[in-house]
Structure 1
């Protein structure tokens, strides 16, 4: 294996391209009527989801350009502009969505390929003042493509996503995103192969921590709001209510 093939950014960009290819192949099987039908996200049609995925690629190009040039370029002009762009694009016919998805994905791939090694280590600004290292933008894009593929409701479930993605995103959600958050119930999340995370609020009420177990895919689907978790093992009579990832 070459040094370039071992590079994490090269691997992540390859994963983004592969996931985008799967998404495009699945969307090509739809028709104009199916695009207008409801997605699995409340209040959004499949067209809304597709428009969002495309505009997210454009927005992350802004982020990567900031990393390359060291200029402060906002991810989105504003929240209002972001929402208006999604709404404006949602009702387009299938062919327009496919062209937009492919074009915006190419723009993201080009912007990522243009970054030099030092730029990947720079801190970039995302939405709502969130900051991160530029190298993590690739996995953020992969997450958008994979999970919104599920949200389209066209036969892809979290269980169908690559195991490498599921494992990595579960580690991120349970190990980082929900860790220490006061609005997340105290949880002990354990996979069938023995990996575990103590996540959620640290000062559990009455010292109670709800243990939840299952496959990595089942746990990720529940934690990200893609499933109700009915098949998960749990130490409480009912699963606690989780906040949206937002």
Structure 2
């Protein structure tokens, strides 16, 4: 069973790591490209802040975003802000999410996210943890997939494997990181393709952060995964 209180604590720790690392930047570094195509580091920090507020909306029974256009414009508007404003926004929005996530409530209730996606409220802290950890990596300031907590890497790999499970565009695939294994893609008794690698490389491929060239593939080519 998902322990939302445990995950909230992990979110706090991840947020502290991100803020500490980002505080060493300057305004010029913030305007440089991140690892996400078309986004500067300022875009990444603005998105991290707005995602916290969006999840507060979800916990409050409101739409995650007013619209896709409003989401994008908020990020664009926030991207060029100076570093001190960005850090304050990330910190304050994180505090709002923490308060909403710590309030008493029915954590088994179903909530709606973007594009009709639904989930159980108790899993929202983990979703937030994933946002903070992966976007910290996306900043390209020395925090790598290998630096992610082992618990997060294992759980997020499982989440992403399940996300692609049954997808018609992904062949039946068995994934392994040396100690754990998951199935993904079209369901079949005997997976066509086996993909193995280090936990960081496997997560990087599943999360669209690495091309998968370091992975060992047997039984066919490395499957092309749909965008997240």
TM class, shorter-length:
over 0.9
What is the Cα deviation at residue 16 of structure 1? 0.4
Residue 230 of structure 1 deviates from its aligned partner by 1.7
- Residue 54 (1) aligns with residue 49 (2): yes
Q: Helix, strand or coil for the counterpart of 2:107?
A: helix
Tell me which residue corresponds to 1:130.
Answer: 117
CA contact (8 A) 1:185 1:242 kept: no
Partner of 1:222: 205
Pick one of 31, 35, 41 that aligns with 1:36: 31
The alignment's C-alpha RMSD in Å is 1.8
Matched, 1:101 2:105: no
Q: Are the aligned partners of 2:177 and 2:199 in contact in 1 as well (CA < 8 Å)? A: yes
Q: What is the TM-score with the length of structure 2 in the denominator? A: 0.95
Whole-Å separation in 1 of the counterparts to 2:60 and 2:170: 34
1:173 and 1:223 in contact (8 A); partners too: yes
Q: CA deviation at 1:122?
A: 0.7
Is the contact between residue 193 and residue 220 of structure 2 (CA under 8 Å) also seen in structure 1? no
Extract unaligned runs of 5+ from structure 2: none
Aligned residue for 2:119, secondary structure, equals strand
CA distance in 2, matches of 1:106, 1:198: 37
- State the Cα distance separating 1:114 from its structure 2 match: 1.1
| 1:92 pairs with 2:92 | no
How many residue pairs match? The answer is 228
Deviation track 1:23-66 (CA, whole Å, cap 9, x = no partner) reads: 00010011001111111111111111110000000010011112
Distance in 2 between residues matched to 1:208 and 1:99, nearest whole Å: 48
Residues 174, 191 of structure 2: 8 Å contact kept: no
Deviation at 1:237, TM superposition (A): 6.7
In structure 2, do the counterparts of structure 1 residues 104 and 220 end up closer, same or farther at CA, with 3 Å as the change threshold? same
Structure 1: state its 5+ residue gaps.
Answer: 1-6, 67-72
Partner in structure 2 of residue 201 of structure 1: 186
> Using the alignment, how far apart are the partners of 1:107 and 1:24 within structure 2?
16
Q: Does 1:156 align with 2:143?
A: yes
